[in-house]
Structure 1
Amino acid sequence: MSNKDQLSTKTKLKWNDLLFSTLFTKPVKVGTPELDHLISEVARDAKERRSSGNEANPYFAFELIRQSRLGALRIPVELGGGGANIRELFQVIIQLAEADPDVAHSLRAHNSFVEDLLISPDNEKRKTWIQRITDGEIIGNAVTEISSRNVGTNLYETTLSPDGDGYRLNGTKYFSTGTLFADSVLVKASKLDGIPVTVLIPTDREGVVIEDDWDGIGQRLTGSGTTHLKNVFVKKEEVTVNSNDKTPFNSYLQLYLHAVITGIVRNIVTDAATLLHNRSRTFSFAAADTAAADPQLQQIIGQLSSSAFAAEAIVLAAAETLDIAVDSAASGNIDYALSHNASLRAAQAKVVIDNIALQASTQLFEVGGASATRQSAKLDRHWRNIRTLASHNPTVYKARAIGDYIVNGTELPVKQVYF
């Protein structure tokens, strides 16, 4: 299934106006005008689609991302990438989520793949994929299955069976966030002997069917639909036997979600200020004649701004512990204690950020009056998006695990999976 086949001629022509320019001649880097321009274009496109009332997928944004090679931001400069550390990447994800949280979220699997790639042994497969990513390729995921097994197990109903010089892949995956916009998809499966494997194949290969059927209340345009794998031929070199040794904890995937939530909170602050400036009248018992001069409404804006600052500071502080853990990698394996600390900080970030972000998405309406609840304003999108992201794994489990660690020294569970 080709993603581009779904696009109208009008949209394709829109791309041509910008995409075939010479704006992005090399991968974007942190702190450059090119990156600023990319993010502003993503924001403009999101606003345009939202105001038109057309819930169209962000294909335009993903073509910009391909051209700018934003997906190579973490790859070292000497290998053709942007050379960012994890903290810098998460800062960019926050900015991108402020522009369009669907786009930022849709890159989660891709960025996680790049992270694993960077600590993998230096071999031809690694070199090939680094080159493909620095050329602009985007990776999606097909991991989650709906079954009776607990989330996070390493057993899959999707099977990889021998077939001549290769294999055949069969199964159904759900919540395939970002795969609709991706060039290749990372699939978790089990061989007939039960050994878990990772398969990396093109999204347009025969038998790969990507459905845009995600019907969640939020993050509606993340391509988080169903992926059907119908007797897909897989080459031997496209299969890797899973290893659980590299990263004991998946704190990266968890913290990524809260970078997206933080970007949404930043957007809430902007929307709140805009609401205040656009109000031409206020209530008879208000403290000032105009909404912008009302000290109580100003206080709410101040609280929202402070929440955004706190969330960003927490995410970036936790990202620094991830940088430390990844920098400790030796022979592809990350130091266990440092990885545990990063997982602890990501869990603590979730417990706090979920609360202040959901509160901020409600406080927004305090500055707008009844007119802010109009469907055309689409301000409810913030709560719906935050609620959807925060629901990936329950806060109560994280809070309990943190408490057990603080009180009894019980370490957090390993290999938590959050797709």
Structure 2
Amino acid sequence: MNKIVSAPSLTTSEPLKIGSPELETLLNQIAEGASARERERVLPFEVIDLIRRARLGALRLPVSAGGAGSTIRDLFAFVIRLGEADANVAHILRNHFSVVERLVRTPKDEQSRDWQKAVAGGAIIGLATTELESPRVGNVTPGTTFTPDGNGDYLLNGTKYYSTGTLYSDYVLVRAADPSGATGATIIPIKREGIELVDDWDGLGQRLTATGTTHFHDVRVKRQEVVFDEPDSGYGVPYSNTFAQLFLTAVVAGIARATLRDATALIHSRKRTFYYAPTEIPTDDPLLQQTVGQIASGAFAAEAVVLAAAEALDVATDAFDAGAANAADAAHTAALLSAKAKIIADDFAIRGGSLLFDVGGASATKKVTNFDRHWRNARTLSSHNPTTYKARSIGQYEISGTPLPAKGFF
């Protein structure tokens, strides 16, 4: 397989600029080995290290804090391109950018500023929040605990599942509750004693995201490292999950682009065609041209709706940062557009992944081609928070004006 080579030009004093030649070089490097990595199950540590050295995790930090000062729209345009290059790598970074957006981009205390400095220097943050023992629908109180150690700090204990990207990260954000039931989060170094990472994700798609189990055994956490929930910050903000949801949809849009790339390359590489084909040369076949046209149109639509929703999320974020009176309405609009974008992007990406085999026929199903990864990856990502729930809530809003749920998967 192709080995990623760390180019000296990718070590930068500031994050690579979106659209820069250096970033294009990096994306091309990532894309070149993506299929082989997934087929042979080679975890992309080298790729994540390139991203760390290029300081791409600081894209949303202000320039004054050592970041690139990118808008959300710019970030998601990059995520789409990264998803096209390697959907696993793009997904790995989802939790990092979500944590940065909530707790790091605009720090409120010295501890937050320390986290911001770490991200500006290239650090990647993973996430460990999901548990399987939730006793009722809508319950968000974690079973993982912050237990006072008697000296003003805490011992962290519990088990989290679906810790996407944490295996590759420098820090991990963990959600837990103290004995009073107060919920909060901490960001701690991944190498701190008592943290156990298990790469046990066995999904049919997104196989290299290390979406596995994380155990915490009496992990020492300083009091200043804990941010307890407040109504107007972090996890207490209505529609605070919209960013994370749209991020997944951006990765799906990237998969649609990758499917188009492979479909056109496949037609050009074909040396023969179906015996009943209307033309001798595959590139001249009007049926294959039509199929590629369908894939291309779907990829365009998926990207367009993601970027439109990202623009709405920019408006909502700016309104929230400014304390504007319309911030709640803007947040709902962004959540609504993001939900609609998911339905469109998921449909086109999954359909495009299937149409790819109409371009190449049975030979395109050989394991060496690994073309099935596009359908598998899109189908897996779509299964995160099914479109049926999104469509139902959108319908409720359009018919009766019922707002979307303010927490959870919106």
Could you say which TM-score interval applies, normalised by the shorter chain? Answer: over 0.9
Superposition pairs of residues 4-403 of structure 1, within 5 angstroms: 18=6, 23-50=11-38, 53-117=39-103, 120=106, 122-150=108-136, 153-165=139-151, 166-246=153-233, 247-249=237-239, 250-330=241-321, 335-403=327-395
Q: Which moved more, 1:250-259 or 1:323-332?
A: 323-332
CA pair 69-332 structure 1, distance change in 2 beyond 3 A: farther
The AA in structure 2 aligned to 1:383 is: W
SS of 2:16 mapped into structure 1: coil
Q: 1:410 aligns with which of 362, 385, 402?
A: 402
CA distance in 2, matches of 1:177, 1:218: 13
Q: CA deviation at 1:118?
A: 5.6
Deviation at 1:122, TM superposition (A): 3.9
Secondary structure at 1:414's aligned position in 2? coil
Q: Secondary structure at 1:189's aligned position in 2? A: strand
Contact 1:318 1:346 in 2 (8 A): yes
Equivalent pair of 2:365/2:372 in contact (CA under 8 Å): yes
Conserved? CA contact 2:15–2:54, under 8 Å: yes
1:261-300 CA deviation, whole Å, 9 max, x = no partner? 0000100001111111111111222110011110110111
Secondary structure of 1:170 counterpart: strand
Report the aligned-residue RMSD. 1.9
The farther-off stretch of 236-245 and 292-301 is: 236-245
Distance 1:142 1:332, change over 3 A: farther
Whole-angstrom distance in 2 between the partners of 1:146 and 1:256: 23
Q: Distance in 1 between matches of 2:170 and 2:409?
A: 23
Tell which deviates more after alignment, 164-173 or 144-153: 144-153
Q: How big is each residue's C-alpha offset from its partner over 1:109-132, in whole Å with a ceiling of 9 and x where there is no partner?
A: 110111113664543223222211
Work out whether residues 35 and 370 of structure 2, in 8 Å CA contact, stay in contact via their aligned partners in 1. Answer: no
Name the count of aligned residue pairs.
403
CA distance in 2, matches of 1:28, 1:330: 25
Identify which range, 279-288 or 119-128, moves more after superposition. 119-128
Match of residue 8 from structure 1? none
Identify the range of structure 1 (409-418 vs 79-88) with the bigger mean alpha-carbon deviation. 409-418
Q: Residues 66 and 199 of structure 1: is their aligned pair in 2 closer, same or farther, counting only changes over 3 Å?
A: same
Residues 70-108 of structure 1, C-alpha deviations (whole Å, 9 max, x = no match): 000111212211121000000000000101111100111
Distance 1:274 1:104 in 2: 23
Quickly say closer, same or farther: Cα 1:122–1:159, change in 2 above 3 A. Answer: closer
The residue type paired with residue 42 of structure 1 is I
- Partner SS state of residue 411, structure 1: coil
- Amino acid in structure 2 at the alignment position of 1:145: E
Letter in 2 for 1:252: F
Q: Do the aligned partners of 2:96 and 2:124 also contact (CA within 8 Å) in 1?
A: yes
Return the alpha-carbon distance in structure 2 between the equivalents of residues 210 and 27 of structure 1. Answer: 29
Secondary structure of 2:191's counterpart equals coil
Q: Could you tell me how far apart the structure 2 residues matched to 1:293 and 1:25 are?
A: 49
CA contact (8 A) 1:45 1:60 kept: no
Higher alpha-carbon deviation: 409-418 or 275-284:
409-418
Q: What TM-score do you get using the length of structure 2 for normalisation?
A: 0.94
Q: Give 1:169 deviation, angstroms.
A: 0.7
State the AA in 2 paired with 1:157: G
Supply the distance in 2 between the matched residues of 1:118 and 1:317 (Cα, whole angstroms): 25
Distance 1:245 1:415, change over 3 A: farther
Q: Please report how far the alpha carbon of residue 251 of structure 1 lies from its aligned counterpart in structure 2 after TM superposition.
A: 1.2
What is the deviation of 1:156?
Answer: 0.6
In 2: Cα distance, 1:148 partner to 1:66 partner: 34
Distance in 1, matches of 2:179 and 2:329, equals 35
Tell me, which stretches of 5 or more residues in structure 2 are unaligned? Answer: none
Equivalents in 1 of 2:384, 2:231: separation in Å? 22
Contact kept in structure 1, 2:155 and 2:220, CA below 8 Å: yes
Q: What is the percentage of aligned positions where both structures have the same residue? A: 48
Q: Is the 8 A contact 2:104 2:115 kept in 1?
A: no
After TM superposition, give the deviation of residue 19 of structure 1 in Å.
Answer: 5.5
User: Does the C-alpha gap of structure 1 residues 332 and 125 become closer, same or farther in structure 2, counting only changes over 3 Å?
Assistant: farther
Partner of 2:155, secondary structure, is strand
- 1:19–1:67 Cα contact (<8 Å) kept: no
Q: Report the residue type matching 1:38 in the other structure.
A: L
Residue pair 1:121, 1:331 contacting (<8 A) in 2 also: no
Report the residue type matching 2:291 in the other structure.
Answer: I
Asked if structure 2 preserves the Cα contact closer than 8 Å seen for 1:19 and 1:63, the reply is: no
Q: Aligned equivalents of 2:137 and 2:21: distance in 1?
A: 41
Q: Check whether the contact 2:132–2:161 (CA below 8 A) recurs between aligned residues.
A: yes
Q: Quote the Cα distance in structure 2 between the aligned partners of 1:45 and 1:233.
A: 39
Q: How far does residue 164 in structure 1 lie from its aligned partner after superposition?
A: 2.8
Q: Match of 1:71, as an amino acid?
A: G
Q: CA deviation at 1:33?
A: 1.4
